[in-house]
């Protein structure tokens, strides 16, 4: 299984996003789940129901923090108040690593509550890498940055998205949360081959993967996280696992959320690609021997 | 960011609950798309920017719709959405979470009573009540003070307890079901000072709205102001029997706790509730 300094030398299996409609099921049935991913911003609070539930979940399960508000692409730098809150939560959850998105989304304190795409330029690489380095040092946890799904590309871009991602993580010396569904969504919206993306990122830096469903319209795809994973995304995931090895994987399901068992069953489909990769590697070793 | 915050028009607007509005996005919006974004055979640059623009509005409108159901019922859908659109245009989110999106709505209604239909005071107070319900969801709960420490401890109220003195019986409006006509008496604006006292708090993972008597409200306020049970009781007109009953209830609900150290008068903020003249005193950190 894929462990490295980017996963804090911990190996996790198949996880699920912790969502409010599943709270009661998880707390009462205690299903066998490898780990839960929490949205950090849902728990950056002083107390109340969110932290009560989180503490109960943490008593039984490993949780990993995934954020939506770091905005490392911000030209105005990081929000230190936000970082301090994140660090307090990191100390509470003991998350092995922490992830957020390669994007921007806030200007002068006004938030878009969105993950907005970046121009893929040298200047943006340097800005993002500096912000990520600062955040990783301050949080004292390995930081993995996630590729976002996008609907627009900038004229100023001088490189592909995967080149940009690679440059950023190498300059920041951080990990990657490879969202396979996002690669697929963006490939359709922008007209590139998603395999080029998967094959050209630095695989040794991939700490975690995301899979999810999306909504296809006549002329574009929106990343809605409200459907099962489609076959082309599973195929892309299979290739990513071949290249990176079995990697901690999380299914995102954020809207029209079905019962817990359905979400868990969908997530566990990822295991078959792990098994296939492990068997293939064993066969290769046996052949050599 | 300025492009995202522009009002939505046309087909994007039709996908929302917002009432019809003539117009179109600004020339700056079109220029930004043309200058910065690549067009593809499937989507023009303007359409690609519009995808982000409409998602910004969908996300905010969905969130605020969940938080103010009773206000929406009072105003009716059309007036409610007109109010929310005006509010979001002027008061954008400055928080990392959408849970705080409605934090300024009550104050906005006080400044813009014309957007509240025929009942501006009720609307503002209802917005205050409904946002308090959101707010206490994530407020901490501190250990209740032990009975033997009640006399010598410096007391405070639970951070998840909010006290309001309203001019109108908005808790009655809040309790109405979706299909119930609003009784006329709930819409009358009483003369004089705010005289509807309400405690909003969390108990056993539920948010609760409870009407309390003026004397109970005053005693709780005195405890917050002085931190002293003896001093609060000295200034209270309540009978011993009333006080005993309130204490029993407060103990069961764990309303009283010890004031967080370092105790400082600077941590107390006095807020005016709607148009009344009765101060509502709550610890400042509730509102950060």
Please identify every stretch of chain A with a pLDDT value under 70, giving residue numbers as ranges.
Answer: 278, 282, 285-289
Boundary residue ending a domain (B43, B67, B91)? B67
Cβ partners under 8 Å of residue B77, min gap 6: B17
Q: Which domain holds residue B41?
A: 1-67
Q: Residue B273's pLDDT is what? A: 40
**How sure is the predictor about B187, in pLDDT bands with cuts at 50, 70 and 90?**
confident
Residues from chain A contacting residue B96 (CB–CB below 8 Å): 41, 44, 69, 79, 82, 85, 111
Q: Diameter of chain A by CA atoms?
A: 61
- For helices B27-36 and B45-67, give the axis angle rounded to 10 degrees: 120
CB contact under 8 A, B37 and A155: yes
From CA A64, how far away is CA A71, in angstroms rounded? 19
Collapsing DSSP to helix, strand or coil, A60 comes out as coil
Using a CB-CB cut-off of 8 Å, the residues of chain A touching B40 are 189-191
Report the residue from A44, A156, A190 with minimal CB separation from B40: A190
Closest CA to A44 of A18, A58, A65: A65
Beta pairing, strands B268-272 & A206-212: unpaired
Task: Say yes or no: B105 and B212 in one domain.
Answer: yes
Specify the pLDDT at position B277.
Answer: 33
Task: Measure in Å the smallest separation between the Cα of A80 and chain B Cα atoms.
Answer: 12
Closest-CA distance, B87 to chain A, in angstroms, reads 14
A49 CB neighbours in chain B (<8 A) are 137-138, 202, 205
Q: Is B31 on the interface with A (CB under 8 A)?
A: no
| Diameter of chain B measured on Cα atoms | 80
pLDDT on residue B190: 84
Contact B38 A110 (CB under 8 A): no
Of B67, B100, B122, the one marking the end of a domain is B67
- Region at A137 (left for phi over 0; alpha for psi -120 to 50; beta for the rest): alpha
pLDDT for res B33: 96
- Whether B25 and B147 share a structural domain: no
Please tell me the distance from the alpha carbon of residue B78 to that of residue B19, in angstroms, as a whole number: 6
Burial status of residue A206 (CB atoms within 10 A of its CB: 0-12, 13-18, 19 or more): buried
B50-67 confidence digits (pLDDT tens): 999 999 999 999 999 999
Short-list B112, B140, B137, B142, CA closest to B124: B112
Cα of B205 to nearest chain A Cα, Å: 6
ipTM tops 0.85:
yes
- B53 plus B137 within the same structural domain: no
Could you tell me if B144 and B29 lie in one domain? no
**pLDDT of B242:** 93
Q: Are residues A220 and B43, on separate chains, in Cβ contact within 8 Å? A: yes
Mean pLDDT in residue range B99-105 = 96
Domain extent for A177: 5-288
Quick one: CA dihedral B89, B90, B94, B99, positive or negative? Answer: negative
Q: What pLDDT, on a 0 to 100 scale, did the predictor assign at position A287? A: 67
- Decide if A49 touches B, using CB distance below 8 A: yes
pLDDT the model gives residue B266: 46
A52 neighbourhood in chain B, CB within 8 Å: 205
A156 neighbourhood in chain B, CB within 8 Å: 36
Is B268 a residue whose pLDDT tops 80?
no
Check residue B194 and give its pLDDT: 80
Q: Are residues B54 and B99 both part of a single domain?
A: no
What is the reported pLDDT for B279? 31
Counted domains in chain B: 2
Final residue before a domain boundary, out of B35, B67, B99: B67
User: Is a pLDDT exceeding 90 seen at residue B280?
Assistant: no
Instruction: Give the pLDDT score at B265.
Output: 47
Per residue in B139-165, pLDDT (tens digit) is 999 999 988 888 889 999 999 999 999
Q: Are residues B97 and B122 in the same domain?
A: yes
B98 touches chain A (CB under 8 A): yes
Per-residue model confidence (pLDDT) at position B183: 86
CB within 8 Å: B56 and A114: yes
| Same domain membership, residue B174 and residue B85 | yes
Answer yes or no: do B267 and B195 share one domain.
yes
Number of domains within chain A: 1
- Predicted local confidence at residue A276, as pLDDT: 75
A47 → closest Cβ in B52, B93, B141: B141
Q: How far apart are CA A191 and CA B43, in angstroms?
A: 11
Q: How confident is the model at residue B286 (pLDDT cuts 50, 70, 90)?
A: very low
Task: Read off the pLDDT band of B179 (50, 70, 90).
Answer: confident
Flag whether pLDDT at B127 surpasses 80.
yes
The enclosing domain of A146 has a CATH number of: 3.20.20.150
Instruction: Count Cβ neighbours within 10 Å for each residue of A99-128 and write b for 16 or more, e otherwise.
Output: bbbbbbbbbeeebbbbbbbbbbeeebbebb
pLDDT digits (tens, 9 = 90+) for A181-203: 999 999 999 999 999 999 999 99
Residue B287 predicted with pLDDT over 90 = no
């Amino acid at each position: 299984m894929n462990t490295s300094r980017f996963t804090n030398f911990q190996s996790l299996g198949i996880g699920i996003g912790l969502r409010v409609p599943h709270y009661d099921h998880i707390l009462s049935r205690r299903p066998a789940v490898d780990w839960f991913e929490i949205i950090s911003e849902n728990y950056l609070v002083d107390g109340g129901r969110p932290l009560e539930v989180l503490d109960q979940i943490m008593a039984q399960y490993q949780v990993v923090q995934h954020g939506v508000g770091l905005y490392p692409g911000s030209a105005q730098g990081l929000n230190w108040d936000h970082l301090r809150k994140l660090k307090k939560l990191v100390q509470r959850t003991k998350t092995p690593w922490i992830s957020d998105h390669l994007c921007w989304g806030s200007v002068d304190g006004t938030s878009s509550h969105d993950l907005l795409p970046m121009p893929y330029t040298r200047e943006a690489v340097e800005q993002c890498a500096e912000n990520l380095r600062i955040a990783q040092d301050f949080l004292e946890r390995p930081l993995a940055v996630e590729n976002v799904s996008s609907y627009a590309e900038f004229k100023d871009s001088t490189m592909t998205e995967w080149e940009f991602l690679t440059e950023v993580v190498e300059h920041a010396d951080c990990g990657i949360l490879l969202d396979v569904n996002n690669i697929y969504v963006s490939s359709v919206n922008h007209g590139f081959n998603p395999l080029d993306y998967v094959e050209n990122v630095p695989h040794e830096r991939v700490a975690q993967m995301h899979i999810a469903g999306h909504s296809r319209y006549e002329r574009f795809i929106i990343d809605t996280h409200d459907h099962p994973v489609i076959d082309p995304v599973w195929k892309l995931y299979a290739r990513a696992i071949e290249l990176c090895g079995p990697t901690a994987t999380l299914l995102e399901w954020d809207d029209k959320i079905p019962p817990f068992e359905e979400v868990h069953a969908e997530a566990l489909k990822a295991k078959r690609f792990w098994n296939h990769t492990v068997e293939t590697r064993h066969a290769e070793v046996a052949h050599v021997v | 960011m300025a492009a995202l915050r522009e009002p939505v028009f046309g087909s994007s607007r039709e996908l929302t609950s917002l009432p019809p509005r003539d117009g179109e996005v600004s020339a700056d919006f079109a220029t930004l798309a043309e200058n910065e974004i690549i067009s593809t055979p499937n989507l023009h640059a303007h359409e690609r920017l519009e995808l982000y623009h409409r998602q910004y509005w969908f996300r905010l409108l969905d969130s605020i719709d969940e938080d103010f159901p009773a206000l929406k019922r009072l105003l009716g859908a059309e007036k409610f959405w007109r109010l929310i659109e005006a509010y979001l245009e002027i008061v954008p989110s400055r928080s990392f979470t959408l849970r705080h999106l409605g934090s300024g709505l009550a104050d906005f209604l006080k400044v813009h009573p014309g957007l509240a239909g025929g009942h501006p005071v009720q609307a503002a107070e209802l917005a205050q009540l409904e946002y308090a319900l959101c707010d206490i969801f994530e407020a901490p709960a501190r250990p209740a003070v032990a009975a033997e420490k009640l006399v010598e401890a410096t007391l405070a109220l639970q951070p998840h307890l909010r006290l309001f003195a309203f001019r109108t019986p908005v808790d009655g409006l809040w309790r109405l079901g979706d299909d119930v006509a609003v009784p006329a008496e709930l819409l009358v604006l009483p003369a004089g000072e705010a005289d509807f006292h309400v405690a909003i708090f969390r108990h056993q993972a539920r948010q609760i709205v409870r009407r309390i008597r003026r004397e109970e409200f005053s005693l709780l306020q005195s405890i917050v102001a002085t931190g002293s049970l003896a001093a609060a009781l000295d200034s209270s007109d309540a009978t011993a029997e009333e006080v005993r009953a309130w204490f029993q209830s407060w103990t069961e609900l764990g309303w009283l706790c010890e004031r967080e150290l370092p105790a400082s008068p600077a941590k107390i903020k006095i807020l005016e509730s709607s148009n009344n003249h009765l101060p509502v005193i709550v610890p400042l950190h509730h509102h950060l």
